[in-house]
């Protein structure tokens, strides 16, 4: 990987792309430290240092810590991720979107435009919710000055804050598209990578300060060692795939024969990626968020506060694991259609050796997909539980950096970016047969 980056910097056009991408990443991190107008930054800083509230942990993770600091990039890339997932789910349900998806580049551009509109709408909705939560002191419920974060709660001030957050999300979306067009890798993925990686040094140093063995250095290096092992395991599983062989029969068109080639269908063990973890985390935040906003003292609210607010509670961990397994099967079922794949193979004269074309092929693909989704979903659940188990083992109040959603995204984005760099290097250094 390091050799690929070194060779890329020696290539002039790739060097420009890499430097452009790094510049956008720096600009993105600078925007994550500019507070929204109308926020008492001193009170925010005090509450962030004292708060142990993990209720908004997922959004704060994707914003690189900008959410709890109430900056212009507080919403981060989360509205775009949510909009992309919603559009992907609606593509299966709405025939018009499914037809656009099959139209190629023009249809993809149209769906991207719909994603942008939905992102802005979700940013307005989420921004309003975050500002309202901060105004009534619920964002930092355990902080003594939590109700002083937003001193002025007038309609004009609240609207200004929401507009600034929405504009920040729009700028992030634009920066991501700039990286995709003029930089290296997928822009949105690179920005998510930047947000998550930005929190690693602070979390590691907090673990060192809270450690009790050898001045905290034992805990520090233990977490790093566990992180290296987790990264190796994640890379191994993310690269694992089941290759189903496909043979295409020869066809005579005029006097020429076409086809007769052999290929395969790559089915990844983790076919769903990190989406099930995001779905499960978001769903588990809803009960705690409702209980916190209503400020109810009823039995159900107390039970939710005791069992679904802290990630180290057994009921929360079991529910989290079960939801991840469920959403892994759910997402694979809507993203991969065995019947459509079987029909396309039959249309172009392809077949799986030993399996008849048509319905038997679809049943076989569904059988194989179900078999490999089980270990993939269990793997996702175990990886997501690593930071929670680490919190219990270390008795820490901070996030364990090497685990869960963060490590899955960082490894996935890193592998994809390196592959793109290597492919572009191969295109520029290809000599061919004739020299």
**Residue ranges in 250-358 assigned as alpha helix (H):** 275-294, 299-307, 314-335, 338-347
**Residue 261, SS3?**
coil
Distance between CA atoms of residues 76 and 170, nearest Å: 10
Q: What is the pTM of this model?
A: 0.78
Q: What is the pLDDT of residue 118?
A: 92
Which pair of structure tokens corresponds to residue 69? 């600091």
Mention every residue, 6+ apart, whose C-beta is less than 8 A from residue 280. 320, 323, 324, 327, 384
Residue 301 · residue 291 · CB < 8 Å:
yes
Distance between CA atoms of residues 399 and 183, nearest Å: 31
**Residue 244, SS3?**
strand
Distance between CA atoms of residues 322 and 76, nearest Å: 28
Residue 350 CB-half CA count within 13 A: 18
Q: What is the pLDDT of residue 121?
A: 92
Q: Tell me the C-alpha to C-alpha distance, in Å, between residue 159 and each of 129, 164, 165, 251.
A: 12, 9, 10, 65
Q: Tell me the C-alpha to C-alpha distance, in Å, between residue 82 and each of 62, 116, 126, 329, 366.
A: 12, 11, 11, 19, 28
CA angle at 402 for the pair 420 and 372, rounded to the nearest 5° = 65
Q: Which of 344, 322, 327 is nearest to 85 (CA)?
A: 327
Which pair of structure tokens corresponds to residue 338? 């065995």
350-351 and 241-248 strand pairing: antiparallel
Q: Tell me the C-alpha to C-alpha distance, in Å, between residue 352 and each of 216, 248, 367, 428.
A: 57, 9, 14, 36
Question: Mutual orientation of helices 217-239 and 359-394 as an angle, nearest 10°?
Answer: 180
- 3-state helix, strand and coil shares in percent for the chain, rounded to the nearest 5: 70, 5, 25
Distance between CA atoms of residues 236 and 270, nearest Å: 11
Q: Which of 38, 121, 132 is nearest to 83 (CA)?
A: 121
Q: What is the pLDDT of residue 53?
A: 46
**Residue 298, SS3?**
coil
Residue 21 · residue 184 · CB < 8 Å:
yes
Which residue do the tokens 């997928």 mark?
186
Weakly modelled stretches of the chain, pLDDT under 50: 52-53, 397-398, 433-435
Q: Which of 72, 234, 49, 279 is nearest to 160 (CA)?
A: 72
Strand ordering across the sheet containing 350-351: 262-268, 241-248, 350-351
Which residue do the tokens 């939801």 mark?
323
Q: Which of 5, 189, 184, 6 is nearest to 80 (CA)?
A: 189
Mention every residue, 6+ apart, whose C-beta is less than 8 A from residue 385. 317, 320, 321, 404
């Amino acid at each position: 990987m390091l050799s690929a980056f070194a060779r890329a910097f020696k290539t002039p056009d790739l060097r420009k792309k890499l430097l452009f991408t790094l510049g956008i990443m720096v600009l993105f991190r600078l925007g994550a430290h500019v507070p929204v107008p109308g926020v008492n930054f001193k009170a925010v800083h005090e509450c962030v240092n004292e708060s142990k509230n993990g209720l908004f942990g997922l959004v704060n993770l994707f914003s690189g810590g900008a959410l709890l600091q109430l900056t212009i990039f507080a919403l981060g890339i989360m509205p775009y991720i949510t909009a992309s997932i919603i559009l992907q789910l609606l593509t299966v349900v709405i025939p018009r979107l499914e037809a656009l998806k099959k139209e190629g580049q023009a249809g993809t551009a149209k769906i991207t435009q719909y994603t942008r509109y939905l992102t802005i709408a979700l940013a307005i909705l989420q921004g309003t919710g975050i500002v309202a939560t901060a105004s009534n002191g619920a964002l930092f419920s355990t902080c003594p000055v939590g109700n002083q974060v937003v001193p002025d709660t007038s309609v004009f001030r609240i609207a200004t804050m929401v507009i600034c957050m929405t504009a920040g999300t729009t700028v992030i979306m634009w920066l991501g598209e700039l990286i995709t067009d003029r930089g290296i890798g997928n822009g949105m993925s690179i920005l998510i990578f930047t947000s998550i990686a930005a929190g690693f040094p602070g979390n590691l140093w907090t673990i060192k300060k809270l450690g009790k063995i050898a001045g905290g250095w034992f805990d520090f290096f233990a977490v790093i060692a566990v992180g290296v092992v987790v990264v190796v395991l994640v890379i191994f599983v993310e690269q694992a795939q089941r290759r189903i062989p496909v043979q295409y029969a020869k066809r005579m068109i005029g006097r020429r024969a076409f086809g007769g080639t052999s290929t395969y269908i790559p089915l990844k063990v983790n076919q769903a990626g990190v989406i099930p973890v995001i779905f499960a985390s978001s769903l588990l935040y809803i009960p705690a968020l409702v209980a916190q906003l209503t400020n109810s003292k009823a039995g159900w609210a107390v039970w939710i506060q005791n069992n679904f607010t802290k990630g180290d509670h057994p009921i929360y961990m079991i529910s989290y694991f079960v939801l991840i397994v469920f959403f892994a099967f759910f997402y694979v079922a809507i993203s991969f259609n065995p019947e459509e794949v079987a029909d396309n193979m039959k249309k172009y004269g392809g077949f799986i050796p030993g399996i008849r074309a048509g319905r038997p092929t679809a049943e076989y693909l569904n059988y194989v997909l179900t078999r490999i989704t089980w270990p993939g979903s269990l793997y996702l659940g175990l990886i997501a539980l690593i930071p929670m188990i680490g919190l219990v083992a270390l008795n820490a109040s901070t996030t364990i950096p090497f685990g869960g959603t963060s490590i899955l995204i960082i490894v996935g984005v890193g592998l994809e970016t390196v592959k793109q760099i290597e492919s572009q290097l191969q295109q520029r250094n290809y000599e061919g047969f004739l020299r």
